[in-house]
Amino acid sequence: MVTDVPPRANPDRPNQDRANQDRAERLRAVLVRDGDRCVWCGRPFVGLVQPTTDHLVPKVKGGPSWIENEMAACRRCNGQRGHSTPIDWLAECEGRGWSPDRAALEAAMRGLSAAIDARGGQRRAARYLDSQWRRWSRR
Ligand SMILES: [Zn+2]
């Protein structure tokens, strides 16, 4: 699901502007953390391949709007992944002959698990992530 929104001044909705700014700042931080390429297809973010925010645990599955739940993916991968689980989409990417960044995915899963442990709550996201870890370890 593509959820990034380009920051745009809107004097009638200052809170929306703030949220867009926060999102853009988080995306920049994710790029510094994970590198300047799509986590799924490995294409570098240049020219028409622009980064979008992809949620490790989809928001519709209870994923929080935390940087620990965010990865940088190109618009194509983000859109085609839709609400697929990260492990299902990882397998799909590999089936297509792409080279997804497994290390970045595993690091993101660890980071989100640690953040949920530290902050508490997020029970739906925690359950979702647990099921992904079980499948990860069976690979
Ligand atoms: Zn991609």
* Cα 104 to ligand 1 centre (Å): 14
132 inside domain: yes
Q: How far apart are CA 67 and CA 12, in angstroms?
A: 27
Quick check: 39 and 56 in contact, CB under 8 A?
Answer: no
Range of the domain at 46: 14-138
pLDDT given for residue 124 in this prediction: 97
pTM: 0.84
* Cα 126 to ligand 1 centre (Å): 26
64 inside domain: yes
pLDDT given for residue 116 in this prediction: 97
97 inside domain: yes
* Cα 73 to ligand 1 centre (Å): 5
pLDDT in tens, 29-66: 999 998 899 999 999 999 999 999 999 999 999 999 99
* Cα 40 to ligand 1 centre (Å): 5
Three-class DSSP category at 129 = helix
7 inside domain: no
Q: Is residue 115 exposed (0-12), middle (13-18) or buried (19+ Cβ within 10 Å)?
A: middle
> How many structural domains comprise the chain?
1
pLDDT in tens, 69-118: 999 999 999 999 999 999 999 999 999 999 999 999 999 999 999 999 99
* Cα 77 to ligand 1 centre (Å): 4
9 inside domain: no
The domain that holds 19 is classified in CATH as 1.10.30.50
